[in-house]
Structure 1
Amino acid sequence: MDQIELNFTTDQKHQTKGKRVGLFVTCLVDLFRPTVGFAAVKLIENAGFTLEVPKDQTCCGQPAYNSGDKEDAKALAKQVIKAFEDYDYIVAPSGSCAAMIAKHYPSMLADDPDWANRAEAVAGKTHELVSFLVDVAGVNEIASHYQGSVTYHDSCSGLRELNVSEQPRALLKSIEGVELKEMQDSDVCCGFGGTFCVKYPDISDAIVGKKTKTIAASGAGTLLAGDLGCLMNMAGKLKREGSAVEVRHVAEVLADMADGPAIGEKPGR
């Protein structure tokens, strides 16, 4: 795997030595965009951590939780806790999945004496990917290669539950050739919302239609975000509108792995 250069603060770089990271791949990355997972691996390993991908990991339980199926959500949470609790850090290339583990597992299992403390411990070491690189690993620059203008969408869970906003922008601005063009209302929902877009397709379509207008108005050639669900929803709408804007996960650009087909495009295009 090709190396990319990462610059650290000295103290934080020293602290990465010997630390083990468990990568929570997420269902959507596994099924629809494995390159995001490979990009996450590259970024974390280049930051000096020992990385593993537990084979026993499952869905984080968020779809069940948001739909009111608390018992299945709890069962999935326990499976995730068992798979990841021995790692120093748990990292996910998704604000929504990371937030589910970090913010909702403790309250969901608070009344279970066998799991409450384990849920708290796992929650305390779970991070969204880019936030982990900046806030934990101390990465402040990435010498990746990308030429063009980009705009960044702030996904709801990452922004509101994990305070992920400035971290991706800081790393993107450090990449030579990247021009960051902020869209209006970058922090407004794209309409995906997990099962929301399935249960309320007309409302979801109206919301994402407003979002694609702000994306187009930014003048950027590429749309980036940190959650694949949001990206797939916006990419689908952009394609239906005939837009030429490319859609990619921010990790693919940061890891210098943005030379393949964009989200929603077929290989060879």
Structure 2
Amino acid sequence: MRVGLFVTCLIDLMRPEIGFSAIKLIERAGFEVFVPPAQTCCGQPAYNSGDRRIARDLAEKTLREFEQYDYVVVPSGSCGGMIGTHYGDLFADDPELMGRFARLRPKVYELTDFLVRVAKIELTPGDFHGPVTYHDSCSGLRELGVKQQPRALLAQAGVTVTEMKDCEHCCGFGGTFALKFGDISTAIVDEKCANIRASGTQAVVLGDLGCMLNIEGRLRRTGDTTTRVLHIAQVLAGDA
């Protein structure tokens, strides 16, 4: 079966090692992975900012590049939510595009959801030793229903999860929200960082690089140089 990996802009530009970890996991589960070289943005920043024209252009581009594959896997709840949830809104006035999207939609999965529900991957305990705490990203949780999947995979890999207070609360990033409402964003991420520290763990694991960068950046700016901030793909693939 052919899997198209939607790498995401942030991973491609800032943490490509996460993409390689995702490929390793998908291949380990027995799938052939393809990374369309011309892929760019899913269109979420434009969509969230109200620029529907650019968002739709990017959505059409993504549709063209990925509709050939048996599955589309995204190591990001926010980009997966954009493709799987909001493309229907962008294509609503075009029956042809809507029909193509209707065929694509059931094939789109966030990485951990794919590994659990489709690949049914079986992991063995690796070299990573916990405990860790887990942050549920807003889009993955609320738009895609990603909650137990990453925890089940971590358990398979022998990683103990110590739940932090308010693990489902936002980290304050929200894409352009962090730019437009910096003071509010900072207050939100400060609360998240306090909960991470209070968990008593040395690492926070999550499935969205936007959240990773926001949390890690705030931890470092407030003097915490030891708490690790890791994408779940890195932990599961043995790359952490």
Shorter-normalised TM range: over 0.9
Q: 1:87 aligns with which of 69, 78, 84?
A: 69
Give the secondary-structure state (helix, strand or coil) at the position aligned to 1:193: coil
Aligned pair 1:236/2:217, yes or no? yes
Structure 1 position 171, deviation (Å): 1.0
Structure 1 position 143, deviation (Å): 3.5
Q: Deviations over 1:199-246 (max 9, x none)?
A: 111110010001001000001110110000001000011111212211
Q: 2:160 aligns with which of 174, 179, 187?
A: 179
Aligned pair 1:37/2:19, yes or no? yes
Matched with 2:193 is 212
Give the secondary-structure state (helix, strand or coil) at the position aligned to 2:126: coil
Distance 1:76 1:118 in 2: 15
Q: 2:6 aligns with which of 11, 24, 36?
A: 24
Distance 2:55 2:12 in 1: 19
Q: 1:162 aligns with which of 135, 139, 144?
A: 144
Give the secondary-structure state (helix, strand or coil) at the position aligned to 1:223: strand
Write the letter of the residue equivalent to 2:178: C
Give the secondary-structure state (helix, strand or coil) at the position aligned to 1:233: helix
Distance 1:216 1:157 in 2: 23
Matched with 2:34 is 52
Relative to structure 2, which stretch is displaced further, 144-153 or 38-47? Answer: 144-153
Distance 1:215 1:115 in 2: 43
Write the letter of the residue equivalent to 1:161: E
Give the secondary-structure state (helix, strand or coil) at the position aligned to 1:238: helix
Write the letter of the residue equivalent to 1:129: L
Aligned pair 1:223/2:216, yes or no? no
Distance 1:120 1:155 in 2: 25
Write the letter of the residue equivalent to 2:179: V
Matched with 1:200 is 181
Structure 2 unmatched ranges of 5 or more: none
Distance 1:211 1:156 in 2: 13
Would you tell me which structure has more helix in proportion to its own residues?
2
Aligned-residue sequence identity (percent) comes to 55
Structure 1 position 93, deviation (Å): 0.4
Distance 1:220 1:179 in 2: 10
Distance 1:123 1:145 in 2: 36
Structure 1 position 173, deviation (Å): 1.4
Distance 1:167 1:231 in 2: 18
Structure 1 position 175, deviation (Å): 2.0
User: Over aligned residues, Cα RMSD in angstroms?
Assistant: 1.0
Contact kept, 8 Å, 1:91 with 1:128, in 2: the verdict is yes
Distance 2:126 2:71 in 1: 24
Aligned pair 1:252/2:228, yes or no? no
Contact kept, 8 Å, 1:142 with 1:254, in 2: the verdict is no
Matched with 1:135 is 117
Distance 1:34 1:65 in 2: 24
TM-score, structure 2 as length reference? 0.97
Give the secondary-structure state (helix, strand or coil) at the position aligned to 1:167: helix
Distance 1:168 1:113 in 2: 36
Contact kept, 8 Å, 1:149 with 1:222, in 2: the verdict is yes
Contact kept, 8 Å, 1:22 with 1:90, in 2: the verdict is yes
TM-score, structure 1 as length reference? 0.87
Matched with 2:126 is 144
Contact kept, 8 Å, 1:142 with 1:171, in 2: the verdict is no
Going from structure 1 to structure 2, the CA distance change for 1:20 and 1:195 (only over 3 Å counts) comes to same
Structure 1 position 140, deviation (Å): 4.5
Matched with 1:106 is 88
Structure 1 unmatched ranges of 5 or more: 1-18, 259-269
